[in-house]
Amino acid sequence: MSNRPRARSMTDALRVISFHRDIDRLMNAEADRVDAQLESFSNELPRLKESEIIELGHGDSPCPICLTQFLALVAEEETAMAMDSPAHPVEELGVTRLVQTCGHIFCRKDIRNWMREGRSTCPTCRRPFIAGVEARPTDDSRTIASIQLRPVAWPIRSAADMDLENMPWVEELVIPILDERLGSAQAGSPPRPDSPPDERPDDEDRSHFAGMYS
């Protein structure tokens, strides 16, 4: 049996397109899930009183993000709350603490903006806000992350849209994953009777597709 690499076909290109679309759906669903969890986490952040900040030993400490003194932020919150129409949304005022995780203290506005921008770890210690969000990825998800960092011309709707000469990672990363996943199903498939021993059905004429891998 020949050990030469299996030639790539139009079917490979179509599988890559489908694979990308599946990745997009999965990644978008995961991003939506994390965003919802971060919003819930943000909404549950407590408001610290001046006495609590002093008791925690941060009476003279500034917010690590904006560098404004915590007690000045509390005074600003108290002044705003006494007004009929505060200049800033009340949920953005004051000081909070990441009580569910690391315990670090920030002004509410900055830490909420930090989360709103999609960041999911403490700015000070990088501990995740949500358990499991930064769990160690599997080999496939590491590959997917690498793929998404590569430039691709979108949208890709057909094999004709794919310039594989500028997408070498397709052969390097995507197709091996697909081959591995389909390998067990294809392992028992015998060669066609009219094919030479080292050929398989996948080695059909690919002249219309050869330029994509030249």
CB neighbours of 12 closer than 8 A, spacing ≥ 6?
175, 178
φ, ψ for residue 62, nearest 5 deg: -95, 165
φ, ψ for residue 96, nearest 5 deg: -135, 170
* Alpha carbons 96 and 73: distance in angstroms, whole number: 10
Average pLDDT over residues 45-62: 94
- Percent with pLDDT over 90 in the chain: 27
Helical (H) or strand (E) element with 31: helix 10-43
Give yes or no for residue 132 having a pLDDT over 80.
no
CA distances from 4 to 41, 48, 190, 195 (A): 54, 67, 17, 16
Average pLDDT over residues 111-140: 76
Q: pLDDT tens digits, residue range 73-90?
A: 999 998 888 887 776 778
pLDDT of res. 40: 85
DSSP at 204 = S
Mean pLDDT estimate for the chain: 70
> Of 8, 33, 1, which is closest to residue 213 (Cα–Cα)?
8
pLDDT of res. 83: 80
Give yes or no for residue 28 having a pLDDT over 50.
yes
Retrieve residue 178's tokens: 């697909």
> Of 4, 13, 57, which is closest to residue 163 (Cα–Cα)?
13
- Percent with pLDDT over 70 in the chain: 47
Q: What angle do CA 210, 211, 214 make, to 5 degrees?
A: 90
Average pLDDT over residues 41-49: 91
Average pLDDT over residues 112-137: 79
Total Cβ atoms within 10 A of residue 23: 18
Global confidence as pTM: 0.49
* Alpha carbons 145 and 166: distance in angstroms, whole number: 18
Q: pLDDT tens digits, residue range 158-208?
A: 444 445 454 554 555 555 665 665 665 555 555 544 444 444 444 444 444
Q: pLDDT tens digits, residue range 152-167?
A: 444 444 444 445 454 5
> Of 38, 35, 17, which is closest to residue 27 (Cα–Cα)?
35
pLDDT of res. 143: 38
